[in-house]
Amino acid sequence: MTAVVFIHGTGVREPGFSALAGRVAAGLTALRDGLRVVPYYWGGAHGATFAAAGASLPPAPGRSRGPDVDDGTAVWAALYADPYAELTLAAAGAKPAVELPPGSVPPDRTLRTRLTALAAEGDAPAAELGPGLARAVTDLAAHPLLGAAAAALGPDDLAAVAARCLTARVVAGALDSDAPLVPVGGVRDAVADRLAQTLGAPARGTERGLRSLMLRVAGSAASRAVVRRRRALTEAAHPAAGDVLRYLSRGEAVRAGLRGLISGLEPPVAIVAHSLGGIIALDTLVLTPLPQVRLLVTAGSQGPFLYESGSLPSLEHPAPLPPHVPDWLNLYDPRDLLGHVGAGLFPGRVTDVAVDSRQPFPAAHSAYWTNPAVYRHIVDRLP
């Protein structure tokens, strides 16, 4: 009788683990009789906890201390995600386009002329933010919504919106390239105001435009709520993030528990593991020969990524997998940003199989065990 050891991933605790393990057992045994599914619940004994009841969390800011959360930070966060967000909002509020009388000047012509002149200066006008201004200016000048936004806004507010768009594009580019230095908000705001003046807005027009448009969508109340709810948000995310950090720093107890569980099982044994559970299983098999284990199955695992980045506790790139590590089936969802592939790192030792849950991330990371294809792939390879 084949024994299948199921190892859960990050953040899983009871009663959720029993429901998950039951779903996995039902999915496997429905396709093959005679399987013995043995759960390994490491989260209870070895998962991360707030040992001091969250004493490491800063207190929620009050009216007289802490950061000012009504400073437009939420607006800039929205603009970093989509630098054209304000432009789109303005264009959406424009009246239907009508043919201009002969001799009339399109409302966006002045701004486009100024953008052309600004592009000729290269990146220098926003040097404090890093490279990318010239490209951002060129793209904005050609943006199809610029005309509609100009029709909806006065020239001062249009210049301010354009300046924030350019500023956000440059900062977002720095974030995307993992730049080690990102300017503080004061420097960012000074650059945005300077660009706004270059494009025709009066001094401090940036602040007036900010409050008149984007705060309707990404208002300061939302930012303040996030800051004040930091404890609740941290506690909600804590088990998952904490489990990873705790395992990477103190993982031997988890591996010892898995070795002890497997030592009491008759061969053949297969390990089926999700997310961090796959890292636990892989490390255990690399560090300790367990001949009764004939198959390793990982789903949504970061093991290959940790190995390639030099972070896997048991094996450092480019060392090969030891010969005693069993066949490895690695299931990943192309939409799961936490799922990685291993065949290119361990040629001939890993079989990568894509399974599509048709869910976006992060839902894709938790959808493996409701996907019938996952169980078919596992059962087809069980010893």
Domains identified in the chain and CATH numbers: 3-50+237-381 (3.40.50.1820), 73-218 (no CATH)
pLDDT at 221: 42
Residue 329 pLDDT exceeds 70: yes
Q: What is the tens place of the pLDDT at every residue in 90-127? A: 887 665 555 556 656 677 889 999 999 999 999 999 99
Average pLDDT of 60-78? 58
pLDDT at 276: 95
d(CA 361, CA 172): 21
pLDDT at 55: 76
Average pLDDT of 11-37? 94
Average pLDDT of 232-250? 69
The Cα angle at residue 380 between residues 378 and 383, in degrees rounded to 5: 85
Q: Position of tokens 């029709």?
A: 151
pLDDT at 184: 82
Claim: this prediction has a pTM higher than 0.75: no
Residue 125, Cβ density class (10 Å: 0-12 exposed, 13-18 middle, ≥19 buried): middle
| DSSP-H helix ranges across the chain | 16-29, 43-46, 73-81, 85-92, 109-119, 133-141, 146-152, 155-176, 185-198, 205-212, 215-218, 220-228, 230-249, 252-263, 276-287, 303-308, 372-381
Residue 20 binned pLDDT confidence (cut-offs 50, 70, 90): very high
Greater confidence, 151 or 372?
A: 372
d(CA 208, CA 213): 9
pLDDT at 286: 98
pLDDT at 239: 55
Percent of the chain with pLDDT over 70: 81
Residue 374 one-letter amino acid: V
pLDDT at 57: 62
pLDDT at 75: 78
Please state, as a whole number, how many other Cβ atoms lie within 10 Å of the Cβ of residue 214. Answer: 22
d(CA 284, CA 298): 13
Q: Is 4 within 8 Å of 382 (Cβ atoms)?
A: yes
